[in-house]
Amino acid sequence: MRKLLIIFVVALQILMLAFMAGQREYVLRTGKTIYLRTVPVDPRDLFRGDYVTLRYEISTIAESHLRDELSKIANNDYMRDKKIYVVLKVDANDVADILYATDKKPQKGAIYICGRIAYPTSGFMFGVEYKTINVRYGIEAYFVEQGKGRQLEQRRRNNTPFREAEIALGSNGIAVIKGFR
Task: Assign 87 a pLDDT band (cuts: 50, 70, 90).
Answer: very high
Chain mean position to CA 55: 8
Distance CA 139, CA 31 (A): 15
Using DSSP's 3-state secondary structure scheme, residue 11 falls into helix
* Residue 130 phi, psi (nearest 5): -130, 150
Task: Assign 67 a pLDDT band (cuts: 50, 70, 90).
Answer: confident
Distance CA 174, CA 7 (A): 31
Q: What is the pLDDT of residue 156?
A: 56
Geometric angle at alpha carbon 114, from 105 and 57, rounded to 5°:
125
Query: First CA to last CA across the chain, in angstroms?
Result: 55
pTM of the model: 0.74
